[in-house]
Amino acid sequence: MAKILVTGGCGYIGSHTIADLIDNGFEVVSVDNLCNSTEAALGGIKELTGVNVQNYRIDLVDEKATRQIFLDHPDIKGIIHFAALKLVGESVEKPLLYFRNNINSLLSILNCMDEFDVENLIFSSSCSVYGNARALPVTEKTPLQEAESPYARTKQMGENIIQDYLTSRQDQNAILLRYFNPAGAHDSNLIGESPTVPPSNLVPVITETAIGKREKVVVFGDDYATRDGSCIRDYIHIMDLANAHTKALQYLLDDKNSDNCEIFNLGIGQGVTVLEAVNAFLEATNAPLNYEIGPRRPGDVVAIFADYTKAAELLGWEPTRDINDIMRTAWEWEKKRVK
Ligand code: NAD
Ligand code: WQD
């Protein structure tokens, strides 16, 4: 039973990944300062798996506090580093906050990896590293363009820092996972997306509107050169995404990697327009939704979706759910949250 440190373990992707890791026999320790979450997710994990996961409520920017985790747990075999701030718009307003939090917490983790000889790291990267990709679908070899936001730059920098760190390391490995658009909730409805800072992503905006927390959904533009004029994205169900982390970790633990830093795209390989997503919500839930067409959002790319062939071939990972599953589970979770 390998022990894994999950940073950002109380957050959205972290909590679902912890559930999947436990299901697959891993022991998990979490670290999360709760800047965008609560420990309620750990209660859901307990109900789901029967396991009480320990969380260190510390800020990873604090290297000394971070070191203490590794002193307490010298047997950590791998780290999955989710902890980061992720609001694109906020990062434009407060770039230094994003650099300080996202870069310094990564440096703390790498310093501990170095000092305590932790062999394996999985890093949460993002499709935003591709910027305005020139060709679709995007493969891991698609050239990265200029970052569209300080947030995206922290992901590009994070990838570079890890690659540089590993250049002179023989016994340490990392996988950089570039997620496309994660959404939906756990099938059990015991965990889901519960940020403490209001979300700006499409799916929670839709469910929060339908439940009455927001007045309306504004579709950001219907005059793009796409099949219905709205932007295209690759929405990946959170349970599929979580399972990819377990597979990536197992791949490293089994020494199947051919390079000590490998990159994988995680999407479902299908583009969905904003209007198609709205319709999927209406069909999957029968709930009413107040939405209207508004102006384009500055910085939005017209279309992006993944080629995930590499993850399928090397990790043995395949997405099993689609936008309808996303909308159904996100809606069940939203209804439960208001109770
Ligand atoms: P989230 O906000 O739900 O989870 C991140 C967690 O990290 C939060 O619980 C937060 O409290 C914690 N955290 C942040 N800074 C910390 C610090 N300095 N010390 C300790 N804890 C800290 O976000 P998420 O959606 O689960 O995202 C997880 C990772 O995946 C992030 O790195 C994010 O950038 C990346 N990512 C997310 C998406 C998405 O759309 N959700 C897409 C691509 C990449
Ligand atoms: C999806 C689509 C919007 C809200 C961001 C980050 C990316 C990754 C995922 C972290 C777009 C449209 C949205 C709304 C809308 N995160 N939309 N009305 O911008 O594709 O990606 O989250 O790494 O890096 O950039 O996600 O959910 O904000 O938008 O019409 O109220 O929905 O224009 O086409 P995005 P999103």
Task: Name the closest ligand to CA 128.
Answer: 2
Region 240-251: what's the mean pLDDT?
Answer: 98
* Pair 36, 11: CB distance under 8 Å: yes
pTM (predicted TM-score): 0.98
Largest CA distance in the chain: 56
What band does 338 get if pLDDT is binned at 50, 70 and 90? low
User: What residues line ligand 1, using a CB cutoff of 6 Å?
Assistant: 8, 10-14, 31-37, 59-61, 82-86, 101, 105, 124, 126, 179, 181-182, 195, 201
Catalytic residues, by residue number, are: 151
**149 closest CA partner among 85, 81, 199:** 85
Region 5-27: what's the mean pLDDT?
Answer: 98
Whole-number Å distance, alpha carbon 201 to ligand 2 midpoint, is 5
**194 closest CA partner among 29, 19, 41, 59:** 41
Give the residue, out of 274, 279, 291, 301, with the most ligand 2 atoms within 8 A of its beta carbon, to mutate for a pocket test.
274
Within-domain flag for 306? no
pLDDT score recorded for residue 337: 86
Within-domain flag for 212? no
List the alpha helices (DSSP H) in 127-273: 150-167, 202-211, 238-253
Within-domain flag for 198? no
Percent of the chain with pLDDT over 90: 97
Within-domain flag for 218? no
Residue 339 has pLDDT above 70, yes or no: no
Whole-number Å distance, alpha carbon 67 to ligand 1 midpoint, is 20
What band does 206 get if pLDDT is binned at 50, 70 and 90? very high
pLDDT score recorded for residue 1: 86
Total number of domains constituting the chain: 1
For ligand 2, whether the C-beta of 116 sits within 6 Å is no
For ligand 2, whether the C-beta of 219 sits within 6 Å is yes
CATH number reported for the structural domain that contains residue 83 in this entry: 3.40.50.720
Within-domain flag for 274? no
Residue nearest to atom 44 of ligand 1 (CA): 126
What band does 254 get if pLDDT is binned at 50, 70 and 90? very high
| Residue 89 structural domain | 3-187+236-266
* Dihedral angle computed from the Cα positions of residues 147, 101, 55 and 36, in that order, rounded to the nearest 10 degrees: -70
Region 186-196: what's the mean pLDDT?
Answer: 97
Within-domain flag for 330? no
pLDDT digits (tens, 9 = 90+) for 23-82: 999 999 999 999 999 999 999 999 999 999 999 999 999 999 999 999 999 999 999 999
Task: Name the closest ligand to CA 178.
Answer: 1
